[in-house]
């Protein structure tokens, strides 16, 4: 071993390491027999030193009677050495500690511990363990997790993620929502496992995203590879970079690897395109509108309810949508009370990780008379980033979804059409 590795192990014995260095020690002891031998030798020497000291204090004295002196430090060294031997064995024979640390959070989120305790706030630094659940409760919310081995994971929108122990490997259950994962390659480590209502995704050294609903899961792999198993019949596919798969609970539906289509610069959400394409409540058609989607109430915190409708690009069977500097969002709908509404978009890097959220506020005067249909067209320049680290514009990114929110129940917000339009000619 190198001098640096020897020093690391000695500092480990002295309890001088931080969490990141302790993780390095764990990896070193798992994969390096010489490191385990070195640690065992040091521990055995500590035991010998403690034994010699103990015997020296108890050896016969001819001249006078000497009261044995108990030296706690030496006994502590012996006890620590025995503990180190046990720890080295446990570390070398068990999988890495399965935890996830919250390293960034925005918007209303909820933490549900394995014992059922609920916290309606999630803070940076929160440590999640097996059995714990985290929820992002609004379309404007997201949470970023560090999986303590260089791997990162982000959930966004209305998502629910639980940590599992799947046959000794790092496991997660994505009950619903959007997830972006960057799984670091780790020699000898078992793949990360992600379960959705319709599929199991396993990867070791890959960047991919998953959108999960009760009746479908969409998995897109951007680098590396992931194995995707359909729960309905146990069939599996190896999804390689630049490819995707749609997983339905119905065995009659196609389960096949396809290449990710090239991005387009416009999108018309037909609202009834498929499962998971929209969130809201369907209303009966009237003489003015054949399609009416009402906003659904969302409890996002104590005594805080908003009314929202949202629209997914992937679930509407659209190719990826490229955001350009002159792109526009056009939405038709009605509200029955005066008050502002909010348009929002979720963005990610083209064939990459989660990027951020942007919102635009629509003032009441722009909506016209209450109860009458309105059509609002908002240019990209009017959308503002939800966090300071984001650039002022998401141009060059990919559109994941669009949402519309009202804070007032009596607004009775309903949506009739949602379109994402390219920049106008001449822009």
- The per-residue pLDDT for range 328-348, each reduced to its tens digit, is 999 999 999 999 999 999 999
pLDDT at 376: 97
Q: Report the top-level CATH class of 99-259.
A: mainly beta
Phi, psi values for residue 86, rounded to 5°: -65, -45
Helix, coil or strand: residue 393: coil
pLDDT of the residue at 68: 47
Q: What is the pLDDT of residue 234?
A: 95
Spatial separation of the C-alpha atoms in residues 320 and 281, rounded to whole Å: 26
d(CA 43, CA 78): 8
Please name the residue ranges forming H helices in 237-377. Answer: 364-367
What pLDDT, on a 0 to 100 scale, did the predictor assign at position 54?
58
pLDDT of 426: 63
Contacts of 271 (CB under 8 A, 6+ apart): 277, 278, 291, 293, 311, 415, 417, 418
Number of C-beta neighbours around residue 261 at 10 A? 10
Q: Which of 136, 186, 176, 132 is nearest to 156 (CA)?
A: 136
pLDDT for res 52? 62
Among 263, 261, 217, residue whose Cα is nearest residue 242: 261
The domain spans of the chain are 3-93, 99-259, 267-421
Q: Does residue 352 contact residue 343 with C-beta atoms inside 8 Å?
A: no
pLDDT given for residue 96 in this prediction: 47
Whether the CB-CB separation of 310 and 410 falls below 8 Å is answered with no
Query: Which residues in the chain show pLDDT less than 50?
Result: 65-68, 70, 72, 75, 79, 87, 89-96
β 152-166/99-106 pair status: unpaired
d(CA 151, CA 207): 10
CATH number attached to the domain at 267-421: 2.60.120
Tracing tokens 């714990």 back to the chain, one arrives at 132
Do 267-421 and 99-259 have the same topology in CATH?
Answer: yes
Asked if 295 and 310 count as a contact pair (C-beta separation under 8 A), the reply is no
Q: Name which of 399, 396, 249 is nearest 320 in CA terms.
A: 399
Q: How far apart are CA 419 and CA 268, in angstroms?
A: 5
pLDDT of residue 67: 47
């Amino acid at each position: 071993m190198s001098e640096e590795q020897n020093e690391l192990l000695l500092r480990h014995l002295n309890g001088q390491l931080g969490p990141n260095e302790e993780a390095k020690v764990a990896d070193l002891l798992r994969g390096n027999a010489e490191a385990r031998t070195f640690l065992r030798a040091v521990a055995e020497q500590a035991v010998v030193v403690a034994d010699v000291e103990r015997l020296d204090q108890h050896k016969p004295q001819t001249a006078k009677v000497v009261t044995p002196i108990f030296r706690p430090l030496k006994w502590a060294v012996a006890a620590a050495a025995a503990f180190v031997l046990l720890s080295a064995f446990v570390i070398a024979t068990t999988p890495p500690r399965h935890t996830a640390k919250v390293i960034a959070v925005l918007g209303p989120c909820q933490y549900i511990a394995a014992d059922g305790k609920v916290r309606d706030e999630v803070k940076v630094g929160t440590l999640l363990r097996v059995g714990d659940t985290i929820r992002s409760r609004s379309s404007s919310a997201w949470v970023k997790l560090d999986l303590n081995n260089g791997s990162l994971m982000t959930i966004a929108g209305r998502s629910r993620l639980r940590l599992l122990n799947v046959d000794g490997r790092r496991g997660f259950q994505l009950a619903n929502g959007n997830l972006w994962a960057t799984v670091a390659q780790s020699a000898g480590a078992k793949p990360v496992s992600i379960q959705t209502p319709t599929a199991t995704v396993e990867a070791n050294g890959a960047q991919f995203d998953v959108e999960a609903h009760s009746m479908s899961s969409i998995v897109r792999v951007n680098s590396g590879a992931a194995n995707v198993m359909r729960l309905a019949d146990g069939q599996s596919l190896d999804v390689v970079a630049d490819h995707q798969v749609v997983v339905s609970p119905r065995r009659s539906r196609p389960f096949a690897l396809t290449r990710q289509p090239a991005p387009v610069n416009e999108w018309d959400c037909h609202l009834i395109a498929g499962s998971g394409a929209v969130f809201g409540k369907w209303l009966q058609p009237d003489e003015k509108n054949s399609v009416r989607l009402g906003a659904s109430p969302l409890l996002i915190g104590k005594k805080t309810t908003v009314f929202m409708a949202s629209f997914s690009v992937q679930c509407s069977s659209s190719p990826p949508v490229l955001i350009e500097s002159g792109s526009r969002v056009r939405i038709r709908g009605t509200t029955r009370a005066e008050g502002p509404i909010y348009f929002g978009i979720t963005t990610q890097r083209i064939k990459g990780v989660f990027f951020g959220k942007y919102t635009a506020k629509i003032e009441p005067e722009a909506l016209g008379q209450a109860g009458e249909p309105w059509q609002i067209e908002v240019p990209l320049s009017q959308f503002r980033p939800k966090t300071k680290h984001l650039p002022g514009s998401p141009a060059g990114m990919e559109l994941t979804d669009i949402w519309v929110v009202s804070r007032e129940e009596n607004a009775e917000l309903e949506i009739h059409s949602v379109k994402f339009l390219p920049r106008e000619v001449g822009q």
